[in-house]
Structure 1
């Protein structure tokens, strides 16, 4: 059959997508949105300079770095530092302490902002709600040095408020700061008090997007407040909870160097020493730069593995995950 060209159709046919046309359109979009890209530039520079460029330093983990020889001339030792670290008797102690603190944080601290956000969401008077929110946000801005100092003032056996109260009613004092059994509970309580209120911001934002008509329909059906929370509120923020849990798993081996370092002493070091303080002790105070870099790289690999694994499990359960 002979092809027939309909008059007038030639003008309506789409032009071929040449590389020049695509480049011209991209350049026009770039000129149109130039201020948005300029606004994005400081954030990109921050991550490039402080996050990606320092990644070159992980090569120290595979070298026997000597400052007077420099990075290039230092001897390449491969996985020697990792072998020494895994065979070190301190490795199991560090792993146990780090995982226990992370596990307690996951069990007690992670649900705390969710529960607090649900409670705040039930407050109907705006004045009381904003007042409570302000009060619970304030500890986030307090330095951990101040928090540790407050803990010392309240818990010390030499005139501490808590111990004076206990002595008045029980006739004895408890050495909270030196007793290894109290170290982990103190760390978890400090974390909850300082960060719980700030963590509610994301969950309150997610709760603000819940359709009010769902609650009205539930009331018509006779559902009480607990049923509404269980069947409407929690499913509405489930995706937010899952994403934050995935991100939390990436920092499972990060327990906060400053807090642990300030609360640790010679008497509770056996339960308080974690990877962060261990890296500081060896890398900064003893100059074992390559060895401490190997420990830090081990932490990073575990974190990436946990993020990918948790994301895979979340997607298997029907959640969107991170990607």
Structure 2
């Protein structure tokens, strides 16, 4: 089934080239079904690249999905024109009376800052509070996952000595859990971050289950006991070239940056990176959509009484 997007969203043409099927509102109204409603809070500076990455994963589903994009009104983006956000995104004030099956919160390039120093700190806390009564399932990625773990459980963030940058093998720890259904024993995950969450604190939270981990880097994919909050530090949504673009961007800016590990064949930047995390990116999103579809109430307003 297609995903429903706002009329004229520019990334639609790129998705069409990849045979990711979308549907606009005028056509969706003629269908007598109950689609899933997903809200994506896109905190990344390059909005369209992130849109494409997550819409690609959401579009690989037999279920029709209605997608809205959310931006933070308390922060003025320096990379995306305000006119683009006003046309294709909504503010929290515009959605706070609505209900959604799922909320997806992306990463953000603010990880070195204390949470409370981020410009949209209070707005994001307000969104998190609202989501507990207006959204059935929530999915947090990278810095979004760090913020959520701190918000829900008080887990602290720690600065790494060196940036974790590359593609790393992670191990599946609980094959029985529906969110890792179909996962291999070991699979690859791209990472690009300067911080981590305190692993000892994560393991001490009774209502949090670690589903995948690395013997050195610790937990990566976690889920709340009720299955309604998913946290992942890695970037299974990344394109093949995302780490390459980031590496060359930082070189151009004169930043201190090492080659991404386990990424370029023989560490040769002129060779095409191996895309060895794509299948698990689709699989995790498929599992999340399936669990949301199976468990969410037909009338989302029932969430207010849960």
Is the structural similarity TM-score above 0.5? no
**Structure showing the higher strand proportion among its residues:** 2
Higher Rg: 1
TM bracket, shorter-chain basis: under 0.3
- Per the normalisation by structure 2, the TM-score is 0.25
